[in-house]
Structure 1
């Protein structure tokens, strides 16, 4: 029996998850090399002998793949796969699979609902006034979700899950997507500029590609309605991050809720931290226990299929976010 070499790599922060994953797939058929803090797969001494690469945020280029001639599968236990050249893998006959689980899409959609309502109802302001001992005074600042226009950029699984959850809230949903979508009573399709001009809440839900890098530029941010709530749960670079600290943009927009940033974790000296009406979370707002459990289970299924030479359960190609 030939022993298969598996390299599992990711950041030190994921050590517990990756060790548990290694333990779950351990057998006499595999030799597992767990690497924490690896910059590139070729940096591990056994890379040339590797058949299966499990990457948690570690890039893998075509050159890396060529340096491992026996590589037959690349698996990432997450939805995102930036840095992995999927086209290069498929061109070399290397299977690729990610963590495409319903709990992931649903957790992000629920987080989007949470941030919309938190921003509309000024939850942070209300809590801070109570903690300071301030009396309730003046007209209410909270607003209802009912009657608002929600602009969703992209129509992948997260967008579909969010539209499903918005049903019954008496909102108007606009969707901007590269391709023509079937007509639906749940939303109306329009171009991006129309969506930006008409929406009370804007949510980009697209992967980061050369086309979506800084998709929401300074000019597009200023083209939004005054007081627009902007929520980003996709990738930080989709919004021109520098523009979010521009005084004119700050004055123009309403609450900005960000769970993702161009550089993660967000540096302590990043000026976004100093803006009082922002909601900032550390790329974790949708990391539910249910999501993590499902990601772990499907990663094990993908790895076991790769060991057996079977099709990977969540292999590409597949529909996007």
Structure 2
């Protein structure tokens, strides 16, 4: 019986994860190739014979799929799958699965709580004062989360996990979603204009699509409450990034807390680095040990199911 050919590809930064993933799959049942730094799968030797493509951040278009005559499955060991044309895959009868694990949603939700509290309590300021041996002068700038209005854009798994974690904090939650969701006592549904106008903290928690690109435009940023906190843990392009360095926007908003950017890693000369009240992390704040372990286990389960021609645990259609 012919062994299926598997290509595992991703950036050099993920080498340890991908090597471990390749070694975890039963090699006697498959021919496994691991390539690092691959720009497109068609550049891989033997792509034409690949049956299972495991992509960690490597794009795969319909044309790429057509060049692999026997391609049956595409798997990504992450939640996001930007660059992979999933609709093209399904139209060609190619199955797709991603890293849809609870630890992923929960880690991002916990990171959102961390950003909210760090911003409200001015944690960086307090730490820097201690390092400079300074004593705070004047009234405190720290604020409680209690009583604040938290605006959440989107109602996916991350948003649901965050709403669950906000229970007990005595906040008011505004929710904006492109489609109506079942009523809940936990939040009020509203349109985007009302959400940005009334929220003390605004969090977009939704995927990047043509509809969500620059959803939070310069005009929307200026429509937020004066001093409001903006937290972005989704995708950089959901916010009009250039507008964040606009002097008028800077003067209008409070803390700008970002874990994602249009260009990653964030360029050294990015004007975002010079914002007077910013909290920046390099798309890693939710990369917990628990999340990585769950993503790894799910990737192995999906690959082994694909080898056995069985349903993959996280197979789905967009």
- TM-score category (smaller protein): over 0.9
Q: TM-score, normalised by structure 2?
A: 0.99
Distance 2:93 2:173 in 1: 41
Deviation per CA, 1:275-304: give whole Å up to 9, x if none: 131000000000000000000000000000
Question: Which residue is 1:5 aligned to?
Answer: 5
* Matching residue of 2:87: 87
Looking at structure 2, the residues matched to 7 and 48 of structure 1 have their Cα atoms a distance apart, in angstroms, of 11
- 8 Å Cα contact 1:150/1:172 also seen in 2: yes
1:191-231 CA deviation, whole Å, 9 max, x = no partner? 11110101000000010000000000000000000001000
1:201 alignment counterpart: 201
Deviation at 1:68, TM superposition (A): 0.5
Report the counterpart of residue 248 of structure 1 in structure 2.
248
C-alpha separation in 1, matches of 2:33 and 2:26: 11
Alignment of 1:31 with 2:34, yes or no, is: no
Partner of 2:156: 156
TM-score for the superposition, normalised by structure 1: 0.98
Q: Which runs of 5+ in 2 are unaligned?
A: none
**Distance between the aligned counterparts of 1:38 and 1:224, measured in 2?**
41
Counterparts of 1:250-265 in structure 2 under 5 Å? Answer: 250-265=250-265
CA distance in 2, matches of 1:26, 1:125: 51
- 1:44 is matched with 44
- 1:45-80 CA distance string (max 9 Å, x none): 110000000000000000000001111100000000
- Between the aligned partners of 2:265 and 2:276, the Cα distance in structure 1 is 19
Preserved CA contact (<8 Å) 1:26 1:32: no
Indicate whether 1:120 and 2:120 are aligned.
Answer: yes
Q: Answer whether contact 1:153 1:203 (CA < 8 A) is retained.
A: yes
Q: What secondary structure, in the 3-state scheme, does the structure 2 residue paired with 1:20 have? A: helix
Please list every run of at least 4 consecutive aligned residues from structure 1 whose deviation after the TM superposition is greater than 3 angstroms: none
Residue number in structure 1 paired with 2:233: 233
In structure 1, C-alpha distance between the alignment counterparts of 2:98 and 2:45, rounded to whole Å: 25
Distance 2:32 2:267 in 1: 34
Corresponding residue of 2:66: 66
Partner of 1:114, secondary structure, is: helix
Q: Residues 122 and 141 of structure 2 are in contact (CA less than 8 Å); yes or no, is this contact kept in structure 1? A: yes
Q: How big is the shift at 1:136?
A: 2.4
Distance 1:136 1:58 in 2: 49
Q: How does 1:152-231 map to 2 (within 5 A)?
A: 152-231=152-231
Verify the 8 A CA contact 2:5 2:51 in the aligned structure 1: yes
| Native 8 Å contact 2:86 2:317 kept in 1 | no
Structure 1 SS opposite 2:33: strand
Q: Secondary structure at the match of 1:158?
A: helix
Q: Distance in 2 between matches of 1:163 and 1:317?
A: 26
For residues 135 and 175 of structure 1, what CA distance do their matches in structure 2 show?
40
Query: Whole-Å Cα distance in 2 between the matches of residues 142 and 150 of structure 1?
Result: 17
Map of 1:130 onto structure 2: 130
Q: Distance in 2 between matches of 1:207 and 1:134?
A: 42
**Cα deviation, residue 137, structure 1:** 1.9
Alignment match, 1:104: 104
Task: Give unpaired runs (5+ residues) of structure 1.
Answer: none
Q: Is the 8 A contact 2:301 2:313 kept in 1?
A: yes
SS at match of 2:9: strand
